[in-house]
Structure 1
Amino acid sequence: MSISITQMTRRFGQTEVLRGVDLTVGKGELVALLGPSGSGKTTLLRIISGLDWPDSGQLRVAGEDWLSKRAEQRRTGFVFQHYALFPHMKVRDNIAFGLTVLPREQRPSAAQIRTKVEELLQFLQIPQLADRYPSELSGGQRQRVALGRALAIDPEVLLLDEPFGALDAQVRRDLRRWLREVHEATGTTTIFVTHDQEEAFELADRVVVMGAGQIEQIGRPEEIYDNPATPFTASFLGLTVEIRVTLQAGRAVAPGIDASALALRDLPDGPATLFLRPSDIAPVADPEGAFIVTESLSTGALHRLRLEGPGNCIIEAELPRRAGAPGLAAGTKVRLRPETGQIFPGAARLTSRAA
């Protein structure tokens, strides 16, 4: 089912949690809402599900006004971060729960419910867990059961709120691949919330970057990663080094910066900010360089340099450790050659920083 959200607002007291959100999700699409805590992601998800209501705006699914429907009328499947399984029910009963509480005229027969549960147990690759209780399952297994319960009602829309947030890194990676396979097999229109950039980029057809209650950028994962449209998106996606520059005929100019590798920008001359990832900076030893290495550390896979330059600019650069950092010990003067980056008009903060 296609979803259309228009000028959605939500306020809690004096705090604007959603500020005029417009979003369209295509039928069968998997979309990630990506952003930091407090950006409005979960509030938007709850409004779609019927667990919360906006102060203004429209929500239409397949052309129908969903704000006129109660939560139980919307036929959404909702998967929470902490599973929310019923501890006193076995796995098969947890999966069947949504079907057993449907209105009588919509409720399948007991035999049909058993058949549906068996199909889902096989589909989710957990038939051996059918008669266990949630306390007897691992985190990854519980999340599969939670997804099975959401899918049992054949939802028009599947909503997932930080579905892998409580799991360790390896299990998260395994379940991400599995969830993508489940989505492709079911074709259900799906929206999931995450603050994990890697998770959003690996899973989603499109990524919606949210910040402070509004949408900063929408696009395919590679589009957003390579071309962040706003300073907020750039910083959130790892371009955490900010350097004051001056734009002259589309070229960034600053003491100690060799910006010749950067593409010319169609921006007006004047003050601007160059956003870089630490791994996009190539420090080159230069006795006349305007930056100085103040710290040189190895983190295993990476060689990390701390650099100080004009205007109280403090940054970090990262180089592959096996490539080495010849001649870049503490005290070395260097010039910086950014390999790629984003430029936005306006001044940077006083101190640039890397994550």
Structure 2
Amino acid sequence: MSLVISHLARRFGATPVLRGIELEVRQGELIALLGPSGSGKTTLLRIIAGLDWPDAGGLSFDGTDWLAKSAAERRIGFVFQHYALFPHMTVRDNIAFGLTVLPRATRPGQAQIAATVDRLLRFLQIDGLADRYPAELSGGQRQRVALGRAMAIEPRVLLLDEPFGALDAQVRRDLRRWLRGVHDSTGTTTIFVTHDQEEAFELADRVVVMNGGVVEQIGHPDEIYDHPATPFVARFLGLTVELPIAMRAGRAEASGLDLSALPRRAIPDGPATLFLRPADIQPVPDPAAPFRVTEIASTGALLRIVAESDTGCRIEAEVSRREGRDLRVGHAVGLRPAAGQIFPGGATPLARPASAPKALKEARP
């Protein structure tokens, strides 16, 4: 049972928000929609949930057209960033809410609802909080209650919109590991929205990188981190150093750079752009090199080193304090990148054009 999104488009007034989204989510997958604010992540999530409708394209689950079904008919579990718990209800009543408002024909009996809630309280490790109200809970506890409420209806798909955005860093890290464990235990198909790269890479089976209403890249977290497919993905994932280079017989060349560690690339001869992470650049003392150290700043564990050439090329590198202890401002250095991504040509466009979406054939319900 897969969720299939095809040529999905949405605009608000004259502004396109989604431009031909193509995505298939397999049963039991945990997918992260990753991208900056305004990339269309939450709009896509709301369309899947039935809280918004596209202007064009298709959305189906297990072969059934979900655009012909209401939000209630889709049986979606939705967890919001700010919990959206009912303040006048106890934890137990909040979790039970989705079951109590089901149509009479499908609504479980009171005993079955109570048993389901008790099971979820134990599973989510909040059984000692059953009779408390949301105001008496910490942020992490509230988020667990919100997840329990979404899971109570046994959703076909679980959606989470920035689920940890309102929590402090340590609680976020703890809840990420906990949520991955919950997902592995239940096998529920899950899609979550985040702008936090660490969160997406730690939690997701696959990451969908979005920008300006298009999907830039889909893949396993390690694949995307090591091999960004577009200049936008490279920049977004921290490859902030961009250098003009030349390609010859599949090898990258540039004055003052030792690029021997980079593998051969199937890129035509000619100008290209090399994208690097500062942490992947090693400054090497070399009196004949064209770069000179102009700044050194310590962050505790790391040294941030800025090197500039006579031509005005400025590169920032990060090394451990041990590796940089012999470097001084004014030293001549060569630069040795350990890894990087190369795109042909000197220009590096931020995004690719989206394919034209097809119009919806049927009226919205």
Normalised TM-score (structure 1)? 0.96
Give the stretch that moved more between structures: 317-326 or 86-95: 317-326
Give the stretch that moved more between structures: 113-122 or 310-319: 310-319
SS at match of 1:340: coil
Provide the residue aligned with 2:46 in structure 1: 46
Contact 1:150/1:158 (CA < 8 Å) preserved in 2? yes
SS at match of 1:106: coil
Provide the residue aligned with 2:356 in structure 1: none
1:171-196, CA deviations, whole angstroms, 9 ceiling, x for partnerless residues?
Answer: 11111111111111111110011111
Q: Distance in 1 between matches of 2:192 and 2:267?
A: 35
Provide the residue aligned with 2:194 in structure 1: 194
Provide the residue aligned with 2:27 in structure 1: 27
Provide the residue aligned with 1:331 in structure 2: 330
Q: Distance in 1 between matches of 2:334 and 2:277?
A: 16
Contact 1:244/1:348 (CA < 8 Å) preserved in 2? no
Offset, 1:230: 1.0
Contact 1:243/1:348 (CA < 8 Å) preserved in 2? no
Provide the residue aligned with 1:291 in structure 2: 291
Taking a change above 3 Å as real, the CA distance of residues 167 and 256 of structure 1, as seen in their structure-2 partners, is: same
Q: Which amino acid aligns with 1:53?
A: W
Count of residue pairs the alignment pairs up: 348
Matched, 1:265 2:265: yes
Q: Distance in 2 between matches of 1:325 and 1:35?
A: 37
Offset, 1:151: 0.1
Contact 1:242/1:348 (CA < 8 Å) preserved in 2? no
SS at match of 2:67: helix
Contact 1:290/1:333 (CA < 8 Å) preserved in 2? yes
Q: Distance in 2 between matches of 1:308 and 1:100?
A: 66
Q: Distance in 1 between matches of 2:309 and 2:201?
A: 34
Give the stretch that moved more between structures: 156-165 or 103-112: 103-112
1:14-73, CA deviations, whole angstroms, 9 ceiling, x for partnerless residues?
Answer: 221111010000011111111111111111100000011111000000110000111111
Contact 1:255/1:310 (CA < 8 Å) preserved in 2? no
Percent identity between matched residues is 71
Offset, 1:318: 0.3
Contact 1:30/1:206 (CA < 8 Å) preserved in 2? yes
Contact 1:28/1:187 (CA < 8 Å) preserved in 2? yes
SS at match of 2:304: strand
Offset, 1:345: 0.9
Matched, 1:220 2:220: yes
Q: Which amino acid aligns with 1:335?
A: G
Taking a change above 3 Å as real, the CA distance of residues 310 and 259 of structure 1, as seen in their structure-2 partners, is: farther
Q: Distance in 2 between matches of 1:176 and 1:335?
A: 41
Q: Distance in 2 between matches of 1:101 and 1:171?
A: 32
Q: After superposition, where does 1:102-117 map in structure 2 within 5 Å? A: 102-117=102-117
Contact 1:208/1:215 (CA < 8 Å) preserved in 2? yes
Offset, 1:324: 3.2
Normalised TM-score (structure 2)? 0.93
Contact 1:159/1:190 (CA < 8 Å) preserved in 2? yes
Give structure 1 stretches of 5+ with no counterpart.
350-355
Offset, 1:310: 5.5
Taking a change above 3 Å as real, the CA distance of residues 147 and 311 of structure 1, as seen in their structure-2 partners, is: farther
Provide the residue aligned with 2:156 in structure 1: 156
Q: Which amino acid aligns with 1:120?
A: L
1:217-257, CA deviations, whole angstroms, 9 ceiling, x for partnerless residues?
Answer: 11111111111111111111111111111112112122211
Q: After superposition, where does 1:229-308 map in structure 2 within 5 Å? A: 229-308=229-308
Q: After superposition, where does 1:57-72 map in structure 2 within 5 Å? A: 57-72=57-72
Give structure 2 stretches of 5+ with no counterpart.
349-365
Provide the residue aligned with 1:166 in structure 2: 166
Provide the residue aligned with 1:55 in structure 2: 55
Q: Which amino acid aligns with 2:70?
A: R
Q: Distance in 1 between matches of 2:12 and 2:288?
A: 55
Q: Distance in 2 between matches of 1:82 and 1:278?
A: 35
Q: Distance in 1 between matches of 2:191 and 2:261?
A: 38
Offset, 1:348: 5.5
Contact 1:81/1:162 (CA < 8 Å) preserved in 2? yes
SS at match of 1:184: helix
Q: Distance in 2 between matches of 1:176 and 1:8?
A: 29
Q: Distance in 2 between matches of 1:170 and 1:265?
A: 40
The Cα RMSD (Å) is 1.2
Contact 1:8/1:19 (CA < 8 Å) preserved in 2? yes
Q: Distance in 1 between matches of 2:35 and 2:86?
A: 30
Contact 1:9/1:54 (CA < 8 Å) preserved in 2? yes
- The answer to which structure, 1 or 2, has the higher relative contact order (CA under 8 A, 6+ apart) is 2
Q: Distance in 1 between matches of 2:14 and 2:331?
A: 51
Provide the residue aligned with 1:342 in structure 2: 341
